[in-house]
Structure 1
Amino acid sequence: MADRAQYEELTRRLSAVGVVRRQLDRTLPGGCSSGTAVVLALLGRDGDLCISRLAELLGVDMSVTSRHVAHLAERGWIDRSPDPADRRSRILRLTPEGRDRLAELSDRAAELLAVRLSDWSEADVRRLTALLSRLRASFDDASTRIPALTL
């Protein structure tokens, strides 16, 4: 296990990742927030989802998820249809326009990363991707959840 100083340095480095995220967000076209892009990406990756599952994947409150969904539906990028198992719930799916928008967003992000990481080896990019996936999974694992920290 790493020592406290390593975790403190990791905290600082994770804060710096916000800079990268903001630069990626600047590549988003008008009418598309980072939250919108994430919802499109999740629907593109996972297929049809009910709104409660989407909120779970996003790690946000249902009200926040509902606002994202309403925004996407207004633009015609997703379709909300009744859930056959529970008519009070909705199944969300990408429309053809939503798939086009997702492809555009993916292309823009990939282009920026390709430029910024052009001096990285393919192995380094793979390693970073694997480590970020592992980090995210560590926070998804219910067996390792801890109560909120007081600082």
Structure 2
Amino acid sequence: MQTISSSGDERRHRIELALGERINALISATRALSERSAAHFHPQLQPAAFHIARWLYAFGPARPSEVAEAVGMDRSSTSTLIGKMRSLGLLDSSPAPDDRRSIIIQLSPQGQERVAATIEERGKEFYARTQDWSTEDLAQLVELLGRLTSERSPETRSQALSP
């Protein structure tokens, strides 16, 4: 086990542990919100269906294989959910123009309405949590989360920021 050599290192270690706790709390809160959002979208569907619907809402019609890859699901699970969503009237499908054996799926008008309403509900909950925050606090959070979730290493990031 690593020993902490100075009070500065100890303080940093405590802060890093607190950061880990806050990130875990954020992940838990996000999962809970995703569960509620999925139920709002359609109570007969698994939460993963809402991820598919949100992706289609944002990016438009696509092949099921493209959707599966984009949302990080296996093709079999995606296919099952797509079939259920089609039977509920949330998705439409048509033959792919370049390969009639393949299909293109898209949200139906009802699916689009449900996604929009669900996103609006999510927004209300998020707004309720941040409505008392200053614009500067929100901007700082966005900037810090961007740095935290960046795929670049700190060295690469600092090089990119240098003139």
TM-score for the superposition, normalised by structure 1: 0.72
Question: How does 1:128-139 map onto structure 2 within 5 Å?
Answer: 128-129=141-142, 132=145, 138=151
Aligned length: 137
- The 1:93–1:19 alpha-carbon spacing in structure 2 relative to 1, beyond 3 Å, is same
Query: What is aligned with 2:31?
Result: 22
Q: Distance in 2 between matches of 1:74 and 1:134?
A: 42
- What's the offset of the Cα at 1:76? 0.7
**Amino acid in structure 2 at the alignment position of 1:51:** P
Q: Cα 1:50–1:123, aligned 2, differ >3 Å: closer, same or farther?
A: farther
Cα 1:34–1:129 change in 2 (3 A) is: farther
Equivalent residue in structure 1 for 2:128, among 82, 90, 115: 115
TM-score by length of 2: 0.67
Deviation string 1:49-79 (CA, Å, 9 cap, x unpaired) is 1111111111121112112212211211111
Question: Identity over aligned residues, as a percent?
Answer: 30
Higher helix share: 2
Comparing 41-50 with 120-129, greater Cα deviation is found at 120-129
- Amino acid of the structure 1 residue aligned with 2:120: D
Is residue 37–residue 105 contact of structure 1 (8 Å, CA) maintained in 2? no
Structure 2 equivalent of residue 51 of structure 1: 64
Structure 1 residue runs of 5 or longer lacking an equivalent are 140-151
